Structure 1
Amino acid sequence: MYEKIETTVQAWQVLRDEISQQLDISAMEALIIIFSALIDGQVDRDDVDSEQIAQWATVTKKFNLTQFNSAQKRQIFQLVVVGSMMDDKLQANYQITPDAIGMWIGFMVKELGSNYKLPLHITDLGFGTGNLAATVTQVLEDDRQVELRGIENDDTMLTIANGLMNLLDEQWQLDFADAITLEEKVPTQIVIGDLPVGYYPNRDIEGYQVYQGDEEKLPYVHHLLIEKALKMLDDDGVAVLLVPAQLFKSEQAPALLNWLQTDDVYLQAILQFPKELFANPAANKHVLILQKSGQHATQAEPVLLAQIPQLTDKEANEKFIAEFDQWFKNNPGLKVQA
Structure 2
Amino acid sequence: MLKQEERLENLFQYFDRGAELISEEKELLYLDSLALVADQLFKGEMIETKNEIEKKKLQTIFEQIDLDKLDKEVVRKTFQLTVLKGMKGAVQPHHSLTPDAVSLFVSYLINKVSVDLKKDFLITDLALGAGNLLSAVLNQSPKPAKAIGFEADETLLNLAFVSANLQQNEVELFHQDSIQPLPDLKTDIVVTDLPVGYYPNDEVAKEYELKAPEGHSFIHHLMIEQAMKQTRDGGYLFFLVPNFLFNSDQSEKLHKFLKEKSIILGLLQLPKSMFKSEQQAKSILMLQKKGEGVTQVQQALLAELPSFSKAEALADMIKQIDRWFKQQLGK
Q: TM over 0.5: same fold? A: yes
Q: 1:23 to 1:308 in 2, by over 3 A?
A: same
Greater RCO (Cα-Cα under 8 Å, separation 6 or more):
1
Q: Note the 1:166-315 alignment, pairs <5 A.
A: 166-204=165-203, 205-214=205-214, 217-262=215-260, 264-315=261-312
CA deviations 1:7-53 (Å, max 9, x no partner) are 4323322221111111222111211221232233789xxxx9x897x
Q: Say whether the 8 Å CA contact 1:37–1:60 is kept in structure 2.
A: no
Q: 1:118 to 1:13 in 2, by over 3 A?
A: closer
Residue matched to 1:84: 86
Could you tell me how far 1:279 is from its partner in structure 2?
2.8
- 2:19 aligned residue (8, 16, 20): 16
SS state at 2:286 partner: strand
SS state at 1:32 partner: helix
Q: Say whether the 8 Å CA contact 2:22–2:49 is kept in structure 1.
A: no
Residue matched to 1:95: 96
RMSD: 2.5
Q: Say whether the 8 Å CA contact 2:10–2:61 is kept in structure 1.
A: no
- 1:74 aligned residue (61, 76, 82): 76
SS state at 2:117 partner: coil
TM-score (norm 2): 0.89
SS state at 2:324 partner: helix
Residue matched to 1:126: 127
Residue matched to 1:64: 65
TM-score (norm 1): 0.87
Q: Say whether the 8 Å CA contact 1:244–1:284 is kept in structure 2.
A: yes
Greater CA drift, 321-330 or 235-244: 321-330
Supply the distance in 2 between the matched residues of 1:86 and 1:218 (Cα, whole angstroms).
29
Could you tell me how far 1:160 is from its partner in structure 2?
0.6
Give the residue type in structure 2 aligned to 1:104.
F
Greater CA drift, 101-110 or 252-261: 252-261
CA deviations 1:208-257 (Å, max 9, x no partner) are 2222441xx21111111111111110001110100111111222223212
SS state at 1:137 partner: helix
Supply the distance in 2 between the matched residues of 1:259 and 1:154 (Cα, whole angstroms).
29
Give the residue type in structure 1 aligned to 2:170.
Q
Could you tell me how far 1:331 is from its partner in structure 2?
2.2
Greater CA drift, 57-66 or 16-25: 57-66
